[in-house]
Amino acid sequence: MTTQTIPPAKLDVNTLSLDSVSLWQITRRRLFRRKSSVVGMIILGILILIAITAPWIAPYSPTLSMLDVKPAQDIQKRSAPCIHLLGCPADQPEHLMGTDGNLRDEFSRMLYGARLSLIIGLSTVSFAIVIGTILGALGGYFGGWIDNIIMRIMDVLLAFPSLLLAIAIVTVIGPGLINALLAIGIVSIPAYARVVRGSVLSVREMDYVSASRALGGNTYEILFKRILPNALTPLIVQGTLGIASAILDAAALSFLGLGAQPPTPEWGAMLGSERNQVFTAPHLVFYPGLAIMLTVLAFNLLGDGLRDALDPRLAHMS
Amino acid sequence: MTTYIIRRLLLSIPVLFGILFATFALARLIPGDPCRAMLGEKATKVVCDEFNHRHGLDKPIVIQFGVYVNEIAHGDFGNSFRYSKPITELLMERLPITVELSFAALLVSIFVGIPLGVISAVRHNSWVDVVTMMWANVGVSMPVFWLGLMLAYIFALTLKDTPFQLPPSDRLSAGIVTVPFFETWGMEISQGKFGFTLLDFLSRMNLLNAVLTANWELFKDALIHLILPAVALSTIPMALIARMTRSAMLEVLGQDYIRTARAKGLARRAVVLKHAFRNALLPLATVIGLSLGGLLGGAVLTETVFNLSGVGRILYDGITARDYGIVQGFTVVIAMFFVALNLIVDISYAYLDPRIRLN
């Protein structure tokens, strides 16, 4: 039997110097290696760019009726997209995605919609993460009846299909974008509370926590500086995927007329108000829906990528 | 197994109480005075006092909750002022349509999702795998109401006058008559009995009723009306199931006993289906259970898009008419339904994996 030696030339010395590579660098490297997460990041990048530059690139204000711009005989309700470069007659006004039922430029509304969608996703998830983290941390750290009460409440919230609970909440507190966001925020709390509680439970009894306690650290310090950082990784993954479902649910609520109210350029609401025109003006349904799908897709791809990058044990599974 | 089921049943009691309390609290949180909301702004104090007394609203909140739980235990969910009917009656009328739709969607998602997942795991990294996973990613990101509208546009307008044309809305075509199967069979059951309620409930599922009465015209019509909504509703669970099947299969296919099975010369088909797939079923039961909630939520949107008069549609009407009774009653029932479904999933989980029930 011959012994095999690994040729030293194949070892990259750079990757061996562990002290210079942080978890975030490894994560970033893994993330960029996955095609699907790169696609997610590209879509997201474009969306963020659109959201920031909307006022400059949008040809019109999102709430402006074309009646205020042109003489009435030149404008048509729900006109099909007209792009001069693609052969639309030059005497017709250019509307990249046509006009909607209230004679507004659909393209401008779509651009501003990107803003709203990102804000909706980020704000609901931030709300849910803050409340969920506090509840999960309290329950996991103190245990006993506090934990019992908190987790039973979370069980009840989870017993409702999330969209239905959000619908019930909005029906009670009244329709509107803020209320819809609040409702979606509330129904997504349990997911984060569970994640944080799980992480807290897994490290609560570890030696370094006991050491910190023995050194006289107060509860606040132990909980927030020693224990909670462990929950950061699963929270980031859950949060990214949570943004996707929050955007989807918010669009659904707006579609049902419970979320953003007209004339707010919210994709779900735009789609909802024109849904009966799907046979006569399909573009007014097609574009907002496509935009919702792409946004949700971007967050889903990124979330999946982050999960695999942060937890290599799962990498082979997706 | 029995001990497990009993323990699991007992555990769901506090959750049920929580659901009742949550919906009760939601109803009390409605801004404004219930009397003036029901009888109008001009109701006098005397009228309102009488109203509050009649509905028990002058009693302490704990007693009100007790009364509420008692009423629900007796199947009384109050009345809908929009339809001037007991909510229980509305539920029995509408629930069958939603159950039929959700069941059809679940069947589609299982029978398409699982094979797709298995194939992409077996042919890992092949083009089938890549396409399936791309599609699954798009599928979970799809707003179901948008997909529904687009399907309606394609199959009702673009493919009009082709064999693929499908109706874009309603449960049945105008002029199609349904006769409940128990009437066709000449059964005589008086209204109001539990047996009647059950048979009536079943007969409102058009496909089932059509089969039982051998009315094939009705069957065909009911089926073609169900295709688009069921496909739209099935997309998200289908994508989830395909993904979960794939990852569970990949995990199992990497195990030593699979290699052993292959090494001893078993046919590939037998290894995949008998050795690997059976063990991949467990995570699959979880994901199917999890999709049920989404299915019920998605049914609201799908029914709205396709104009189906199921639970979702009436919930939507209840929302727009501010009929809190409907929203409250239907939310409770759907949540209970959901708890029951989760219970079934948990029990099937224990059945599939002895480690769980013996723990």
Q: Within the 119-178 window of chain B, which residues sit less than 8 Å (CB to CB) from chain A?
A: 133, 137-138, 140-147, 149-150, 152-153, 156-157
Which position has the higher pLDDT, A3 or A251?
Answer: A251
pLDDT value of residue A9: 52
The pLDDT of residue B92: 85
Quick one: CA torsion of A110, A116, A121, A124, rounded to 10 degrees?
Answer: -150
What single-letter amino acid sits at B350? Answer: A
Q: Which amino acid is at B136?
A: A
User: Chain B 52-111, CB below 8 Å of chain A: which residues?
Assistant: none
CB contact under 8 A, A289 and B150: yes
Q: Which of A149, A171, A186 to mutate to test the interface with B (most CBs of B within 10 A)?
A: A171
- List the alpha helices (DSSP H) in chain B: 2-29, 34-39, 45-54, 61-73, 87-122, 127-140, 144-152, 181-184, 194-203, 206-212, 216-253, 256-263, 268-270, 278-306, 311-320, 324-352, 354-357
What would the mean pLDDT of B275-283 be, rounded to a whole number?
Answer: 82
* Of B27, B319, B338, Cβ closest to residue A161: B338
Q: Which two tokens stand for residue B258?
A: 């699979």
pLDDT class for A290, splitting at 50, 70, 90? very high
> Using one digit for the tens of pLDDT, what is the confidence trace for A119-165?
999 999 999 999 999 999 999 988 889 998 998 889 888 888 888 88
Pick the most confident of A58-72, A83-97, B102-116. Answer: B102-116
**Distances, alpha carbon A191 to alpha carbons A144, A157, A203, B195, in Å:** 20, 10, 19, 41
**Model pLDDT for residues B284-302, shown as the tens digit of each residue:** 887 887 787 778 888 888 9
Comparing CB atoms, the residue among A152, A278, A282 nearest residue B18 is A152
The ipTM, to two decimals, is 0.85
Q: Which helix (H) or strand (E) holds B80?
A: strand B79-80
To the nearest whole Å, the CA of B183 is away from the closest chain A CA by 36
- The reply to whether residue A252 touches residue B319, judged by beta carbons under 8 angstroms, is no
Write B154-158 long-range contacts (CB < 8 A, 24+): B155/B228, B156/A279, B157/A279
- Say which of B140, B293, B319 has its CB closest to residue A162: B293
Pick from A257, A285, A304: CB nearest B149: A285
Determine the pLDDT at residue A98: 80
Best A47, A256, A274, A279 member to test B by mutation, with max B CBs in 10 Å, is A256
Q: What is the pTM of this model?
A: 0.86
- Per residue in A81-97, pLDDT (tens digit) is 877 777 777 777 778 88
B315 touching chain A per CB within 8 A: yes
Whether A52 shows a pLDDT value over 60: the answer reads yes
Q: What is the pLDDT of residue A274?
A: 86
Q: Looking at this protein, which amino acid is placed at residue A181?
A: L
